[in-house]
Structures are given as structure tokens and as C-alpha cells.
A and B are shown apart, each in its own frame.
Chain A
Amino acid sequence: MEFLKKYKKQLEVVAAVLLLFVVIVIVDTLGNSVPRVIVSVLKKSCIYALIAVSLNLLNGFTGLFSLGQAGFMLIGAYTYAILTIPAGIREGVYYMYDGGALHFSVPLIVGLILAGVVPAIFAYLIGLPVLKLKSDYLAIATLGFAEIVRALIQWQGFAPVTNGSISLLKYPYFKKIWPFALVAGICILLIVLLLKSTYGRAFKAIRDDEISAEAMGINLAKHKQMSFVISSFFAGIGGALLAMYQTSLTATAFTSAMTYEILLIVVIGGIGSITGSVLGSFLFIACSEWWLRNLDSGKFLGISLPTVFRSGFRLVVFSVVIMVIVLFFRKGIMGERELDVDRIWNFFTKKIPAFVKSRFGKKTEGEKAE
């Protein structure tokens, strides 16, 4: 009992994570009886959750406003795809370039790790000059970096390696949902552990007040660099997972718009909240690809208006929803807090009844009397 009490929080987290994982495994075993859209929403949410958390580490916990995430994802995705395409079928993928420059391939797991390492190295190099810049300048410089990466990958000169503007295909990928969830889960766990450590505190100190953090002996350059490199490492792995999800890969998809989407997820979930980012990515993906899908198909909630509910309307409604969140719920769903069992319990047992009471107070006199 003593043990249970002491580690209540930790046990709750473990239980919640296991529960989620069990749900995913069940969905997996059900196989084809589950609608495809649910499968793809779950896969994509896992991937975006990882990337959003990696961006949150930088924006929310270290206070570095970076917009380069798409660039690091792109490097990660390409590293993975290039290195893991089986040697035997390279000929077919690189048909324009005589089978490409590489004639070997690495196992999936090695490719996945390298997909983190390579962006991290790039982040280290670009971080040396760029991290000295202040807030918005850092944002623009990293945005510029992402654009450069995208332009260079498509350049003909690198084509024997990157396949130029032709897409990369036939690299190994996960077919089920659970491996996505497992990889993303492990990565997020590592980030959480980091944030709980003394380094996490140093990052937060930098976010709160650079000058006093430095006066307390925290080496700004070193810690910013650390946060930037780690964030890029996980963004790279996220990029590799995204490549697996898409099963074919072109650089054109990784635009700054992708970074903006991830940033919006972080904002919706709450800047500085890990559970917020995870929840935010599920809501974001589910909303844009599942719940609002019917807005595009002429009929929504039983209302049939083909002239309004046509292709693209979903995204309009969706972006209006996002604007409302950005303007009126500036702290996002979670603010800087984390979701835990007590909070959910409170939400259902106290907050909702309180809300109902305040709105419909007169109708529920009986309840008040109790």
C-alpha cells in the first residue's frame, strides 16, 4: 500500500499508457473490420504527437521559437528512406539514375535511429550560428533553413542519392498501428524523462528568464544547442515514421505549412504541456481527417447542401475552429499543466456538474437542495 501511495502518479501514467496501447493492439487485431480512416487517424496521430512534443520541447520548454521542424523531418525521412530501400530493388526506384549511388541498405531499426542522428548533426551545425539570434529572428532563420533543405534535396546534383524530384518508394514500413505507437511512445517517454531531469529545469529556466538563468550559471549556448539538437533528433524520427505512413516520399510535401500545422497542434494542446501536445495532435488529425470529413461530401449532420458542403469546406471550417482557439483559448486545452487521472476525474465529477448548474441552475433545483 505504501508503495502504491508513493508512486500513485507514476502508476497512473503507466496504467494510462498501457490502456492506450491495449486499445491500439485491439484495433490492430480487428484488422479489416475497422474502418480505414480510424487506422490512418491513429497512425498519423502517433506520428504527429511525437513531432509536436519535439517542437514543444523547443518552443514550450526552452522558449526557442523555431520554425525549422519540417526541415529536420525531411532530413530524417530521406535518411530513413534512402538507407533502407532494399539493395535488390534500388534499380527500380532510381530508374533515372542507374540504380542510384548507394548499393547497400541497412535494417529498419538502424535506419530509424540514423533518421534521428543525421538531422541532429545538421541541427548542431546550423545551431552554432543561428541560436544566438533572438526570438523572431530565430524563427525566420530556421524557417529559411527548412526551405534550403527542401530545395537542395530536390536538386539534380544530389539526385543519385535523393532521387531528385522523383519520389522514393519501396522502403520497409510498418503495416500495423502498434509499431508507430511504440516508437512514438518510447521517444515521448525519453523527452519526458529529460524534462523531469535537472536539464529540463535548466531549459525551463532559460525559457522563463534568459538573463537570470545565465546568472545562475546555466550556459545558455550549450543548453540551447542541446535542446535544439534533441528536438531535431526526435523530429527526424517523426519524419521517418511519416515516410513509413505515406509509403512513398517526396520533398515537396514538407513545406513550411507543415511546420505551421505542428505549431498549431502545440498551441491547441497548450504550449508547455506534453499531454496537451499528444491530445492536440489526436484532436487535430481526427478533426481534419475524420470528424469533419463529411463537410466535403455534400451532406453533414443530415443537412444536405452540396453547393456549400463541397470539396475543401472541411478545411475552411477547420481553420475557423483553429482561429477561435488561437484567439479565445490562447492557453490551449491544457495550458502549461499536464493531464492526469485526478484532473479527468475532477472534470467529470465537479466541473461538468458545476457548468450544468450554472447554465441550467433553475431546472435542476432538486440537485441543489441536496
Chain B
Amino acid sequence: MAYLLAGISAGGQYALIAIGYTMVYGILRLINFAHADVFMVAGLLMVYLTTSVPYYIAIPLVILITVLVAFTIEKCAYSPLREAPRMSVMISAIGVSYLLQNVALYVTGGQPQVYPQMEFFSRTVTIFGATTKMVTVITPLLVAVLVVALVFLINKTKIGMAMRASSVDFNTARLMGIRINSVISFTFIIGAVLAAIGSMLYFNNYPSVIPTSGSMPGLKAFVSAVVGGIGSIPGAVVGAFIIGICENLLKMLGLTPFSDAFTFALLIVILCVKPSGIFGEKKIDKV
């Protein structure tokens, strides 16, 4: 039971990151390799900010700065390459990821930064007969609320409609008068907000943050997005829960070394059997 809860919780954290990947891919057809590092940056910001200000100020501030970082990345590294081949943009994303990691390495001096333990999150609770941390219980609830809000935003608001239109056909959306650049920026902002919140939940389970802390959860979140069908938000969430739960069940069976390998094996199997993922749409190439 404890493993199941941990799995659901991990799944929720992956889901928050995965949404950022999947939304950007949906519109730009770009695997935003830097997203994992934005997530890591959010973790580091929390470490530094909590040393000087209390939580209730630090949390919104972390979210705000993370958003600014993501926004700047988009403007500097992706938007100049709008007309470039997709591979160039992907390489730019890899470059940004490399840059963020190196900056983090420089700032932290290579020392692991101890993540602040919020008393409320770390409190132990007992549910369904299993003792666990508060954060494990809060995560799925928070994820549910955020996802519902996001789905509402995408289906009911004007900017949501613009996003959907852009993801169907980028160029036609532009011709129809949608300001594509603001749609893209908005997508990055949402992704960053969710990644920042995700980082607060995720790092609470780990003692410290290092410059490469983002890559593993980032890769797994990305795999979730692919498993669920990249470009689809419900897909990303479902995929993330599948991966989070399977991973923790493997740990329960004493197969911890395989939990990472399993994630990627699942990825390869899904890609080969149904490349468009569980919720993805199949596209036919026109000649």
C-alpha cells in the first residue's frame, strides 16, 4: 500500500512536468530538453530563497522566477529559430540544457544544496493503514485540481482555443490572425508554473538538489508524455501515473535497479507498438 501511494505521488509529480513537455510538443513539435533543467532551477531557487524569506513569500517567488526563466529561454533560444529545421531547434534545446546545468554547477560550486523541508509537507499521516508523508497525499489532489483547471483553460477560454488551433496547424492558425508568439509564450509559462509546483513536491522527498537532479525526473516525465501520446494533456497525466506506479511496484518487488530501465523499456515498446501513444492521433503522411 505504501508503495502504491508512493507510486501515485511520484506519478503526480511526473505528470506536472510531463504536461510542460507535451504542450510544447503539441504546438512547436519540439522536445524541450531544457524543461528538466528549468525544473532543477526551480528546485535551486527554492533552496536559495528560503534562506532569506519565509515560505509564503518564497513559493510564489519561485514560481514567478521560474516562469521568467522559461519565458527568456523561449524568446532567446527558440523563437529566433522558428523557421529553422526541427533538428536545429532541438539542438538549441540541448544547448540550453547544457547551459543551465553549467550555470547551476557554477552557482552551487558543485555542492549538493540541502532542500528545505517544509514541516507541513513532511508530517506523517496514516491513510488506508499505511503511514506516509503528507506530501504523498497532497500531490495527487493538487495534480487533480491543476489538471482540471488546465483542461478548463484549454477548452473554455479564448487563449485555450488559440492553443488548440495552433497545435492542429501552426501556419493556418497564424494566417487566421492568432498571435502565435503570445500563444507559444503562454504555453511555456504554463509549463514553467507546473514544473515549479512539481519541483516543490518532488524535491521534498529528496535531501538535496544538484545540477543534474532534473534529468532523471525530466526524462521520466518525458517518457510519460510519449507513453500517453505526446501532445495530449490527459495522455501525459495517465502516462505519468502509469510510470510512477509501475516504478514503485518494481521497487516493492525488490527490483529497484530495474525501475529506471523499465521506464525506458516501456518507452521503446510503446513507440514500436503504437508510436502515437495511448491518446495520440495517428497521422498519415501525404505525398
> A147-B264, A315-B106 in contact; A264/B271 too (CB < 8 A)?
no
A133's partner among B97, B105, B275 (CB-CB below 8 A) is B275
1/0 contact string of A109-129 vs chain B (CB within 8 Å): 000000000000000001001
B141 contacts chain A at the CB level, 8 A cutoff: no
CB atoms of B260 and A135 under 8 A apart: no
Tell whether, in the assembled complex, residue A151 and residue B95 are in contact, meaning their CB atoms are under 8 Å apart. Answer: no
| Smallest beta-carbon distance A125→chain B, Å | 12
Which residues from A are CB-within-8-Å of B265? 144, 148
Min CB–CB distance A105 → chain B (angstroms): 27
Asked whether, in the complex, the Cβ of B97 is within 8 Å of the Cβ of A260, the reply is yes
Nearest residue in B to A134 (C-beta to C-beta)?
A: B275
CB of A311 within 8 A of chain B?
A: yes
Among A141, A147, A271, A319, point to the contact of B102 (Cβ < 8 A): A319
A147 and B257 contact, Cβ closer than 8 Å, known pairs A139-B31, A140-B271, A312-B110: no
Q: Kindly state the separation between the CA atoms of A141 and B230 in the bound complex, as whole angstroms.
A: 14
Considering the chains assembled together, what is the distance between the CA atoms of A261 and B102 in angstroms? 13
Chain B residues with CB below 8 A from A311, complex form: 106, 109-110
Q: Min CB distance, A297 to chain B, in Å?
A: 14
The answer to whether B98 touches A137 (Cβ under 8 A) is: no
Residue pair B268, A135 in contact (C-beta under 8 Å):
no
- Scoring B residues 240 to 277 as 1 if CB is less than 8 Å from chain A, else 0, what string do you get? 00000000000000000110110111011001100100
Q: Cβ of A140: which chain B residues have Cβ within 8 Å of it?
A: 31, 222-223, 226, 267, 271
A211 to chain B, nearest CB (A): 6
CB of A327 within 8 A of CB of B81, answer yes
Contacts of A59 in B (CB 8 A): 87
Asked whether, in the complex, the Cβ of B87 is within 8 Å of the Cβ of A65, the reply is: yes
Check if B91 sits within 8 Å of A155, measured CB to CB.
no
Given that A129-B268, A140-B267, A313-B106 are known contacts, is A135 also in contact with B86, CB under 8 Å in the complex? yes
A218 to B212, CA, bound (A): 43
Considering only CB atoms, which chain A residue lies closest to B266 in the complex?
A144
Task: Tell me whether A312 and B77 are in contact (CB under 8 A).
Answer: no
B90 within 8 A of A: yes
CB of A326 closer than 8 Å to a CB of B: yes
B177 interface contact, C-beta 8 A: no
Q: Does A106 contact B (CB under 8 A)?
A: no
Minimal beta-carbon separation of B191 from chain A (angstroms):
17
- In the complex, how many angstroms separate the beta carbon of A258 from the nearest chain B beta carbon? 11
Q: Which residues of chain B are near A271, meaning CB under 8 Å?
A: 87
- Interface majority SS on B: helix, strand, loop or mixed? helix
A159 to B48 alpha-carbon distance, docked (Å): 40
Chain A residues near B264 (CB-CB < 8 A): 144-145, 147-148, 151
Q: How far is the CA of A155 from the CA of B215 in the complex (A)?
A: 20
Q: 1/0 per position for A167-197, CB-CB distance to B under 8 A?
A: 0000000000000000000000000000000
Among B90, B92, B103, B110, contact of A136 (Cβ-Cβ < 8 Å): B90
- B80 CB within 8 Å of chain A: yes
Residue of B nearest to A325 (CB): B95
Q: Is B96 an interface residue (CB 8 A)?
A: yes
CA distance A318 to B92 in the complex (A): 15
Task: State whether B272 touches A129 (Cβ < 8 A).
Answer: yes
Q: A residues within 8 A CB of B106? A: 310-313, 315-316
Q: Kindly provide the distance from the CB of B17 to the nearest chain A CB, expressed in whole angstroms.
A: 15
A313's nearest neighbour on chain B, judged by CB, is B106
Most chain A CB within 10 A, of B31, B103, B222, B257, is at B257
B99 within 8 A of A: yes
B95 with A326: CB separation less than 8 A = yes
Interface of A is mostly: helix
B102 touches A316 (CB 8 A): yes
A264 and B31 form a contact (CB under 8 A): no
Give per-residue flags for A81-116: 1 if the beta carbon is below 8 A from chain B beta carbons, else 0.
000000000000000000000000000000000000
User: Does B175 interact with chain A (Cβ within 8 Å)?
Assistant: no
If A140-B267, A141-B268 touch, does A151 touch B260 (CB 8 Å cutoff)? yes
Contact (Cβ within 8 A) B268 A322: no
Q: Name the CB-closest residue of B to A129.
A: B272
Taking the complex as formed, is B219 at the interface, i.e. its CB lies under 8 A from any CB of chain A? Answer: yes
Q: Is B124 an interface residue (CB 8 A)?
A: no
Instruction: Please tell me if the beta carbons of A130 and B90 are within 8 angstroms of each other in the complex.
Output: no
A40 sits at the interface (CB 8 A): no
Q: Are B94 and A130 in contact (CB under 8 A)?
A: no
Q: Could you say which residues of chain A place their CB within 8 Å of the CB of B101?
A: 257
Decide yes or no whether B171 CB sits under 8 A from chain A. no
| Contact digits for A314-345, partner B, Cβ 8 Å, 1 yes 0 no | 01101110110011001000000000000000
CA A318 to CA B275, docked complex, whole Å: 37
Q: Which of B84, B97, B105, B272 contacts A132 (CB 8 A)?
A: B272
Interface: A256 (CB within 8 A): yes
Taking a contact as CB atoms under 8 Å apart, the answer to whether B275 and A137 are in contact is: yes
Q: What chain B residues lie within 8 Å of A294 (beta carbons)?
A: none
Bits for B220-243, please: 1 = Cβ < 8 Å to A, else 0.
001100100000000000000000
Roughly how many angstroms separate A263 CA and B33 CA in the complex, as a whole number?
A: 14
Q: Are A326 and B92 in contact (CB under 8 A)?
A: yes
Closest to B103 in A: A316
Partner of A323, one of B33, B77, B219, B223: B77
Instruction: Verify if B287 is at the interface (C-beta below 8 Å from A).
Output: yes
Residues of B within 8 A of A323 (CB): 77, 92, 95-96, 99
What 7 A-B pairs come out closest when comparing CB atoms?
A: A144-B264, A312-B106, A315-B102, A319-B99, A151-B261, A129-B272, A144-B267
**Could you list 10 further interchain pairs (A-B, Cβ under 8 angstroms) beyond the known A151-B257, A311-B106?**
A144-B268, A148-B265, A148-B268, A256-B215, A256-B219, A260-B33, A264-B95, A264-B98, A310-B106, A323-B77
25 CB-based A-B contacts, threshold 8 Å: A126-B268, A130-B272, A135-B86, A135-B87, A136-B31, A137-B226, A137-B275, A140-B267, A140-B271, A141-B267, A141-B268, A145-B264, A151-B260, A151-B264, A152-B261, A154-B257, A211-B287, A260-B98, A263-B91, A311-B106, A312-B106, A315-B102, A323-B99, A327-B76, A330-B84
